[in-house]
Amino acid sequence: MAIESPLYDINEVVYLKESAALGFLEAVRVSGISRANGTWIYSISAKAPQPTAVSHHGDRITAVAGMILYFTESDFVPLCDALSLAEANAARQLAQIQAQRASICIEPTAGT
């Protein structure tokens, strides 16, 4: 039985699907790939905020201030798909704004 190859590669830039659907284009770089229970798992490295006190810096073993987040293929989309999701969200928001303006604001009539 052949194992399908991962959709994304290490160091490839991908976009978070849920964020794009909300109109935010959040690009992340894949830093690792593994397989669990037949599913490709992708990891990204995220820098943690700088500590306010020296005693809270890093993990006290490697002194690295950061974290690794894990995602599946369905959590990511390529740029063109992210743009389409963001565009659909913008269209919905514009329609809501126009409907609200039409119901609240009185447009001046011509000739007055």
Which residues on neighbouring strands pair with residue 39, listed in sequence order?
36
Please give the model's pTM, rounded to 2 decimal places. Answer: 0.72
pLDDT of residue 58: 55
The reported pLDDT for the residue numbered 73 is 94
pLDDT for res 49:
60
100 CB-near residues (< 8 Å, 6+ apart): none
Helix (H) or strand (E) holding 93: helix 79-104
User: Is residue 83 a contact partner of residue 25, using CB atoms and an 8 Å limit?
Assistant: yes
Local mean pLDDT, 10-residue blocks, the chain (112 residues): 86 96 94 93 81 55 71 95 97 96 81 56
Cα 64 to Cα 67: distance, rounded to the nearest angstrom? 9
